[in-house]
């Protein structure tokens, strides 16, 4: 079998697995954005000491325990308790919860970067607290948070390789199975690496364009 024929044979399963990688990445990103922004908003708007402590405890737990441990707990630990998640569902939830801890801090830093006087001026002008947050604070905070958010999105695509450990059929899981069956290690992993480049490079360019578009005028 020549190399061209081998590439054609390996391409289809790897391209399918790239679709799974995209699904897991998008799902985890939605979970991380939703929870991360919610936590950051609560910390910014609600000065409740217990709430602040609870959110900070969540952040520390998910930032300081290896990601694989969280994935194993969700996939294997919950199954032991009778709650069975598919490998893809566990991957989305696990990576999303892990990402939420990081994005909560990203959004919090963005919110705190907005000068307090702007919010006070908005309240003095007659806006309600949520209106001041929605129309004055949040847009400026998102501008500050966009670069680290973009970096996180690119990193998330690469981090999906971790979910091969719970048998989610993403790129690295499929590549490893192909290597086991064919022993074409260099060719298969090179194709897998090329797929990551194809997924990450356009995203990086889009994020860079967005950063340029929303950059504050000097």
| pLDDT tens profile 48-103 | 999 999 999 999 999 999 999 999 999 999 888 888 899 999 999 999 999 999 99
Q: Are 88 and 43 in contact (CB under 8 A)?
A: no
DSSP count for the chain of H helices, then E strands: 10, 0
Task: Tell me the C-alpha distance between 173 and 117, whole Å.
Answer: 51
How far, rounded to the nearest angstrom, does the alpha carbon of residue 120 sit from its chain's CA centroid? 33
Count of Cβ atoms closer than 10 Å to residue 86 Cβ: 12
Mean pLDDT of the residues in the chain: 90
The dihedral built from the CA positions of residue 87, 91, 92 and 93, taken in this order, carries a sign that is positive
Report the pLDDT value the prediction gives residue 2, as an integer from 0 to 100: 57
| pLDDT over 80 (residue 198) | yes
List pLDDT tens digits, range 142-155: 888 998 999 999 99
Banded model confidence at residue 23, pLDDT cuts 50, 70, 90: very high
Count of Cβ atoms closer than 10 Å to residue 186 Cβ: 8
| CATH class of residue range 21-169 | mainly alpha
Task: Tell me the C-alpha distance between 205 and 69, whole Å.
Answer: 32
Cα 88–Cα 153–Cα 63 angle in degrees, nearest 5: 75
Report the pLDDT value the prediction gives residue 4, as an integer from 0 to 100: 62
Give the chain's length: 218
The dihedral built from the CA positions of residue 212, 215, 217 and 218, taken in this order, carries a sign that is negative
Phi and psi based region of residue 37 (left: phi greater than 0; alpha: psi -120 to 50; beta: remaining): alpha
How far, rounded to the nearest angstrom, does the alpha carbon of residue 32 sit from its chain's CA centroid? 6
| pTM flag (> 0.85) | yes
Residue with tokens 């020549």: 2
């Amino acid at each position: 079998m020549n190399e061209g024929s081998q590439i054609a044979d390996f391409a289809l399963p790897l391209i399918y697995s790239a679709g799974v990688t995209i699904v897991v990445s998008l799902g985890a990103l939605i979970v991380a954005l939703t929870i991360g922004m919610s936590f950051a908003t609560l910390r910014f708007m609600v000065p409740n000491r217990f709430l602040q402590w609870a959110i900070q405890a969540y952040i520390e737990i998910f930032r300081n325990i290896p990601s694989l441990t969280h994935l194993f707990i969700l996939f294997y630990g919950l199954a032991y308790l009778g709650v069975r998640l598919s490998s893809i569902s566990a991957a989305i939830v696990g990576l999303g919860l892990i990402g939420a801890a990081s994005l909560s801090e990203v959004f919090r830093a963005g919110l705190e970067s907005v000068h307090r006087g702007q919010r006070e001026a908005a309240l003095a002008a007659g806006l309600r607290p949520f209106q001041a947050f929605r129309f004055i604070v949040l847009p400026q905070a998102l501008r500050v948070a966009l670069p680290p958010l973009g970096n996180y999105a690119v990193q998330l695509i690469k981090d999906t390789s971790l979910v091969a450990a719970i048998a989610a059929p993403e790129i690295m899981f499929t590549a490893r199975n192909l290597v086991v069956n064919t022993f074409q290690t260099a060719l298969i992993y090179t194709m897998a690496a090329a797929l990551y480049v194809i997924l990450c490079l356009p995203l990086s360019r889009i994020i860079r364009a967005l950063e340029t578009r929303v950059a504050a005028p000097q």
